[in-house]
Structure 1
Amino acid sequence: MRSRSTAIAVAAGLVLAGVAASPAAAQDRVLRADRSVVRACHEALLPPGTAGVDRREVTSGVDGLIQARLTPGGGSEGDWDLAVFDKAGGKVVAGSAALRSRELAESFVTKGQRLVVQACRYGGPARTVTLGVDFLALTPQGTPTRAEVVRVDTPERADKDKLLGLDLDLTEKGDATGVEVVLADDADRKTLRDSGLTYTTVDADLSRTSRDAAARDRSYATTVAASGLPSGRTSYRHLYDYEYELKELARRDPRRVKAFTLAEPTVEGRDVVAVEIAENVGNAADGKAVNLLMGVHHAREWPAGEHAIEWAYELARGGDQAVRSSVRGTRNVIVPIVNPDGFAVSREAEPKGDFTRFDYEMKRKNCRAADSPPELRTGICKANPGGTARGTDPNRNYAGFWGGNGAGLAWNSETFRGPAPFSEPETRNIRAIVSGRAVTNLITLHTYGNLLLRPPGVADVRPPLEEPVVKALADKMASRNGYRSIPSWGLYDTTGTTEDWSYWATGGFGFTFEINTAGFHPAYENAVVAEYLGTAPAAGAGKGGNRAAFLDMLTNAADPAAHATIVGTAPKGHKLQVRKTFRTPTSPVRQPDGTTTAPIQITDTVESDYTSTGGRFTWAVNPSTRPYVAGRYGRKPQGPPQAAIALANPPGVPAENKQYPTNAVAERIPFTVGGQGVDNGRFDVSVSWTSTATDWDLYVLDAAGAVVTQSASGGSNSERATLLDPPPGEYTAVLVNYDQVDPASPDDWAAGKVEFFSPLPPTYGVSEAYVLTCTDRHGRLVGLTDVFVDRGQTVDVGAVCSDSARNGKQRRR
């Protein structure tokens, strides 16, 4: 989605203020603590001389931002945290609590404000760190506008494609016939009006809605001592809360919980923090299936991070017997904040809710500036002349079908795909986990729409051969949270998304959850507490909520039928690895000038390691054949399709009706689907008339009177409604006279028919193998074989680490 808003921009000729009011000596930048003390540095302003703490006082010379940074002070790396406090009131202004001594605390300050920068030694050997403090002067920019949410009618694929081409701020709340869209200002409203697409207003004043939600959150946090969440939390976290709580979970139970830093820092230099939870967590190469849960690819989608960290609390604290049993058989990686730069901007920004370019609270993307025009590349992410428009959408930057429809081509698009697949550190971090850990199960959390999405993101790709299995798992989880379970393209086309790379390239199941229907970060008690626990007013009330859905996914990860298994024998201490390197094309790459260039070939390496404890081993891996080359789902026709049926137009023209189905006035033409020996993979009901200014709407009802498909677009002279694999039975085409140019001389529909098509048969591709190697304690290769293994299959490789086994091994399928 696209975020915008009233703004703050960096003033020209920006001057950096030093650590003190006058230039500071170099030694003043070195902070010292002789011992470490476990505490939350951001929780309170501590007195001078407190053990484990050093501090500096500064005064802001500007209305703008403070940036306080820590870097390692010597040869050793420790864990220091950082916080900035208002000296007069003692209130925390900014904080940072990652796992090392590389911290960035950043927030807004006023001229003359007296501040205390407090550094706390949490752990590790480093007695010193180096502090840097900058002040950035800001000038307010932009004019507040009225933002609104509208539902755009998109009953046909062409309507969705047209809407995607408008580059408006699309939400993830939608269905087969419409999508909710944020209109930030009059320019957006004009763009939508000029498109000819029809729409209705859902929320006429988003700013007011945002203020109301913030007020409700304050009330909830002050009146409720502890929620029913595993952590008891009652309000949205800041980035420093996430960082501190994750490492505290690890400190309290180091045998089962490990906090770690992902491979790459962000554009602004922040570390990305995650946890792994498992029995004997330190032995990552124990052969167990890996379950990955992540949140906040999109900065403004705060509930996504909250659900992820609450699941970490759930697993770390043992939960019920079902949780404990599944944890024993799996390894669980949780990354609550994939995009910490963007989240820090959104979470610390002044609440506005108007979605203009300078509404930093509604920022969606990361903080990449290099793709924006040169004159807009200055300034930091929290305040710059490009506002929230700068950046790449991390969830359009993965390699899966990158370059195709459903992603923005321009730097300022809210779904900007980036200059190349995996151009962003955020996506490379997740790629490293998925590729290097044989992740068998993956959920990525977003807001909003009450949807549970599965691959593919583009309808033309066709479902994988495993579609029935993938759909069944999605449907089971959706039965817990009350979300609609649909393929991703059922909302609208998307390319470059997380699971459309991870699933097609590795075979690990992948799904997107779109949490709640009220907004990106609406009231905490609903979007987090109720949705997680499955209490009213959440759609999963009484069904278990997202907690139960996450448990379904965890249980699936532990089930050998849901992944592949390699068994055999190996001496103690020997290291086994399965590895596969392959190339996969992106989509043909759409260009801003309307042309399309050839697909890009992306090289991926997928590997999994196992360290033998001696004797027999069992090792969970993904299928050796990736779904991209395995084939596509379908079924063979059992007979010819049914002959076409002409729809007879009843006499007369019904009155105009803009309120169907509330107003039942319409024409109804029954037809029958099915017959002896026929096999219908799909039917299309179509009608046409003369003028594009006339508007007829088409609905198709089954024998029970339920709408099974529809087409209700505007600005055309035809409608077409499609139903896949239609059950035999009686149906009714309903024609609604929505609008006539001249009611006195009506433009009646003239041609109508039902056409039937055969099902598409499945396609089957090649089988791929892993290369399995075994090395001894000295790193010498002592075993080598190819392994072909499918989902649910167990392959015995025998004594793979012996020379005789290597030389005599038969390749197995």
Structure 2
Amino acid sequence: MAVGVSSAVVLGLNTPVSTAAENVLRADRAVARSCFAGVLPARTAGVDRREVASTVDGLVQARLAAKDGGSGDWDVAVFDKTTGKLVAASTALGSRELAESFVTKGQQLVVQGCRYAGDARSVVLGVDFLALTPQGTPTPGVTAETAPERAELVRVTTADQQDKNKLLGLGLDVTEKADATGVDVVIAGEADRKVLRESGFRFEVLNPDLSATSRENARKDVEFASRTERTELPSGRTSYRHLWEYNYEMKELARKNPKLVRAFTLPNPTVEGLDVVGVEVATNVANTADGKPVNLLMALHHAREWPSAEHAMEWIYELVDGYSHDREIRGLLERTRNIIIPVVNADGFNISREAEPKGDFSRFDYEMKRKNCQAGDSPEQFRTGVCKANPAGAQRGTDPNRNYAGFWGGEGASTSWSGETFRGSTPFSEPETRNIRELVSNRQVTNLMTLHTYSNLVLRVPGVFGTRPPLDEPLNKALGDLMASRNGYTSQPSWALYDTSGTTEDWSYWATGGYGYTMEIGLDGFHPQYSTGVVAEYLGQAPAQGAGKGGNRAAFLDMLKNAATPEAHSTLVGTAPRGYELALRKSFQTPTSPVRQPDGTTKPAIYVQDTLNSKLEATGGRFTWAVNPSTRPYVAGRYGRDPQGPVQQSVQLANPEGVPAENRRFPSDPTGDRIPFTIKGMPEVDNGKVAVTINWGTPATDWDLFVVDADGQVVTSSASGDTNSETAVLYDPPAGEYTAVVVNYSQANPATPDDWSGGRVEFAGPVPATYGPKESYTLTCKDRRGRLVGLTDVFVDRGQTVDVGAVCTDSARATKQRKR
């Protein structure tokens, strides 16, 4: 869909008034109510409205803006006058609102403004109509598809990390569902199929018609909502929310629970001008500088991943309801602060949620939009038009979860503006990532989780295979494994999915030391049926893998318990007079990855400066402040261990007699040579690495190698093409019985088979840990007049408590001077 003409509307009234006057909505008092539930009667308190006719077939945009710098909270909704049906709405916390949706020429509309809260008695209304060319029709000078093509889901076989990176570089829509042997990929049409065929990758079709699946899911969602009065979710919700519902529910929870819930707006509006809203839940919630550890849950970096926001929203209800009815949750809320941002990518989600359920993944399938609405990186001919209707369609934008500074520019992100994982022009170029950066940098976020769909995974750092895990790896793994035991997901490092650079936790963890995880929810698509993707997954009900284990609700509770555990973070104690302000500050530079260029070359890494600056307001006397370790994990060192025993002797793999039949469908077809072997363990041997290798004569023949454990699960594989050997690798393998499965994928000449030979299992010892320098925070104290009265350096490790003494006294400052 391409943008044509913009037609500004002069709002008409029954009696002639000036244009300036008619574009101002007025209400003498505020009334906390839904503006989008329906058209309210004339002269209803707290409401003003205008009637207008659409001048085009295209988009209506109804915007509110504060008048004369006034403060307050106004909402806006647009209705079809004839049917009373809601067309669009916006319910952010202030008076900056944008309600946008599709209309037809001559359609009679009611634009309703509602004063929800605050002192502002008036607000400026602007209504524009944007004429649009029919969907898919080329704009002059711009090539576009003339008709959508059939989309399908395929599974691409990937032998190793190099294959996964090669696959990512093809520019296809790679999903988050992957394992040691392959990756699920969306093929949007014949052009994608041609790219995949010419790449040489092997693949099989899992779903031949994603569009049919999308329509069926939408139909079943309607049926489910119509027959279900209330679910067992904390909110009782029965269907996916719209953006205006998220924002309205958050501020309603804050209004009804003012001592427990605080709604807030993040500092950077989106490209389209939307405010991003979050809530904080804690006892005495207004005192954000009380020293409690902060547990941050966020969702919807990717627009089409609707269940992620639903889970985040249900967690808010869980905490609010639990404070009154659950002793454990009440106790946790007394010891922690919880920040929840259900919709990080407000622009993208608003478009995806309101779009037609096509599911064909074509350029103009806005329902399946993944990225934000950044237009500046697109070629000039694609920069025109609003995000919901532009010449590039859903292809335009940046992937927010590839735009953080952590390893930005490396493998695992696209360099192309149209790629689904496009990294953006620079680290933190996008308002969405800058919002999270500012939040994390100015609060002691000890625990962070970002929600996505899909693949039933709990992912931890690092996201890049070539990066050795941090010193915290055992702790990170233990918490990830615990959460995975609740929802039935797989716990693994992010790189085990495939390389991902520029992700949320790969910046937040390495820069701050706060635990960071990604949870990939469900197995059935980006936004499957609500009953499965939300209700079952959150509560731990069939058919979810977490059925009977607690589901994601229990996993979120595990994260919250970890945040409340002093051993999981660091603690500062000391004394300070009432009303004095303590501040912890640290400023540093961290390099990105060497920056990959579109032509395959690399440029030097970019150094990104971060400043961490958190505060505590002293209540008088003794204080306790939960903080992250002073040494950031990026420089603290890398995980490893000293050998505790000798390395196991190599094992030869004997080739059984005969050649197995060709098999291109392993593991669904188990045909292959099977050779058992044993990996020994402590105290006899200490194996840090195991490499299983086979060889054969000519690269024209193709053998594949898989290693399965005693439970029959594939734990590693190697399935390359155009080679005469395969090597499958395991790191720190558990002792036990394993089987090498050698699969005859294809023969150069079946009449004279080229059998494999030279099979062997070789072992190497563990890599010892490495350690970097210790870093400190600068701790300062200011009195009630803002004067600096205390200053000292603080070194503190995870699980450690450091007494900083009477840091606000002159004697403390003198001690600091003597140390110099």
Is the shorter-chain TM-score for this pair beyond 0.5, marking a shared fold?
Answer: yes
Bigger shift: 687-696 or 258-267? 687-696
Q: Give the total of aligned pairs.
A: 804
| Residue in 1 that maps onto 2:408 | 402
Residue pair 1:787, 1:811 contacting (<8 A) in 2 also: no
| Residue in 2 that maps onto 1:95 | 89
| Cα separation, 1, equivalents of 2:413 and 2:498 | 11
Q: Secondary structure at the match of 1:379?
A: coil
Please give the per-residue CA displacement for 1:561-585, whole angstroms capped at 9, x wherever unaligned.
Answer: 1110000111111111111111111
1:78 equivalent in alignment to 2:72 = yes
* TM-aligned CA distance change 1:659 to 1:430, over 3 Å: closer
Residue pair 2:372, 2:397 contacting (<8 A) in 1 also: yes
Question: How far did 1:670 drift?
Answer: 4.0
Residue pair 1:488, 1:494 contacting (<8 A) in 2 also: yes
1:743 equivalent in alignment to 2:769 = no
1:10 equivalent in alignment to 2:14 = no
State the TM-score, normalized to the length of structure 1: 0.96
| Residue in 1 that maps onto 2:176 | 172
Residue pair 1:18, 1:134 contacting (<8 A) in 2 also: no
Question: How far did 1:703 drift?
Answer: 5.4
Please give the per-residue CA displacement for 1:167-196, whole angstroms capped at 9, x wherever unaligned.
Answer: 110111111111111100011111111111
| Residue in 2 that maps onto 1:236 | 240
Q: Secondary structure at the match of 1:710?
A: strand
Where structure 2 has 5 or more consecutive residues not aligned to the other structure, the ranges are 137-145
Give 1:696's match in structure 2, choosing from 690, 699, 703: 703
1:55 equivalent in alignment to 2:62 = no
* TM-aligned CA distance change 1:20 to 1:692, over 3 Å: farther
Residue pair 1:197, 1:713 contacting (<8 A) in 2 also: no
Residue pair 1:20, 1:59 contacting (<8 A) in 2 also: no
| Cα separation, 1, equivalents of 2:452 and 2:439 | 19
| Residue in 1 that maps onto 2:535 | 529
| Residue in 2 that maps onto 1:778 | 785
Question: How far did 1:737 drift?
Answer: 1.4
Question: How far did 1:129 drift?
Answer: 0.8
| Cα separation, 1, equivalents of 2:547 and 2:392 | 42
Residue pair 2:703, 2:745 contacting (<8 A) in 1 also: yes
1:437 equivalent in alignment to 2:437 = no
| Residue in 2 that maps onto 1:803 | 810
| Cα separation, 2, equivalents of 1:727 and 1:109 | 61
Identity %: 66
What letter corresponds to residue 187 of structure 1 in structure 2?
Answer: A
Please give the per-residue CA displacement for 1:45-75, whole angstroms capped at 9, x wherever unaligned.
Answer: 1122111111111111211110110011223
| Cα separation, 1, equivalents of 2:240 and 2:53 | 29
| Residue in 2 that maps onto 1:5 | none
| Cα separation, 1, equivalents of 2:713 and 2:353 | 43
Residue pair 1:156, 1:720 contacting (<8 A) in 2 also: no
| Residue in 2 that maps onto 1:4 | none
1:214-225 alignment runs, 5 A limit: 214-225=218-229
Q: Secondary structure at the match of 1:245?
A: helix
Give 1:769's match in structure 2, choosing from 776, 784, 789: 776
| Cα separation, 1, equivalents of 2:70 and 2:667 | 70
Q: Secondary structure at the match of 2:429?
A: coil
| Residue in 2 that maps onto 1:3 | none
Residue pair 2:483, 2:555 contacting (<8 A) in 1 also: yes
State the TM-score, normalized to the length of structure 2: 0.95
| Residue in 1 that maps onto 2:329 | 323
Question: How far did 1:20 drift?
Answer: 4.6
Residue pair 2:447, 2:514 contacting (<8 A) in 1 also: yes
Q: Secondary structure at the match of 2:805?
A: coil
| Residue in 2 that maps onto 1:499 | 505
| Cα separation, 2, equivalents of 1:576 and 1:679 | 48
Question: How far did 1:725 drift?
Answer: 1.8
Give 2:653's match in structure 1, choosing from 647, 650, 663: 647
Bigger shift: 33-42 or 663-672? 663-672
1:545 equivalent in alignment to 2:539 = no
| Cα separation, 1, equivalents of 2:204 and 2:817 | 65
| Residue in 2 that maps onto 1:656 | 662
What letter corresponds to residue 157 of structure 1 in structure 2?
Answer: Q
| Cα separation, 1, equivalents of 2:149 and 2:536 | 32
Please give the per-residue CA displacement for 1:429-473, whole angstroms capped at 9, x wherever unaligned.
Answer: 001110100100011010111111000001211111010111100
* TM-aligned CA distance change 1:811 to 1:485, over 3 Å: farther
Q: Secondary structure at the match of 1:460?
A: coil
Residue pair 2:49, 2:112 contacting (<8 A) in 1 also: yes
Alignment RMSD (CA, Å): 1.9
* TM-aligned CA distance change 1:365 to 1:698, over 3 Å: same
1:19 equivalent in alignment to 2:26 = no
| Cα separation, 2, equivalents of 1:223 and 1:671 | 55
Where structure 1 has 5 or more consecutive residues not aligned to the other structure, the ranges are 1-7
Residue pair 2:631, 2:775 contacting (<8 A) in 1 also: yes
* TM-aligned CA distance change 1:66 to 1:743, over 3 Å: same
Please give the per-residue CA displacement for 1:355-409, whole angstroms capped at 9, x wherever unaligned.
Answer: 0111001110000000000111000000000111111100000000101000010
Residue pair 2:12, 2:22 contacting (<8 A) in 1 also: no
Q: Secondary structure at the match of 2:375?
A: coil
Residue pair 2:294, 2:445 contacting (<8 A) in 1 also: yes
1:687 equivalent in alignment to 2:688 = no
| Cα separation, 2, equivalents of 1:505 and 1:705 | 39
Question: How far did 1:538 drift?
Answer: 1.1
Give 1:295's match in structure 2, choosing from 296, 299, 312: 299
| Cα separation, 1, equivalents of 2:710 and 2:359 | 45
Q: Secondary structure at the match of 1:578?
A: strand
* TM-aligned CA distance change 1:381 to 1:710, over 3 Å: same
Give 2:583's match in structure 1, choosing from 577, 586, 596: 577
Please give the per-residue CA displacement for 1:582-623, whole angstroms capped at 9, x wherever unaligned.
Answer: 111111111112111111111111122111111111110001
What letter corresponds to residue 790 of structure 1 in structure 2?
Answer: D
* TM-aligned CA distance change 1:663 to 1:590, over 3 Å: closer
1:733 equivalent in alignment to 2:740 = yes
| Residue in 1 that maps onto 2:207 | 203
Residue pair 2:638, 2:771 contacting (<8 A) in 1 also: yes
Residue pair 2:357, 2:367 contacting (<8 A) in 1 also: yes
1:349-428 alignment runs, 5 A limit: 349-428=355-434
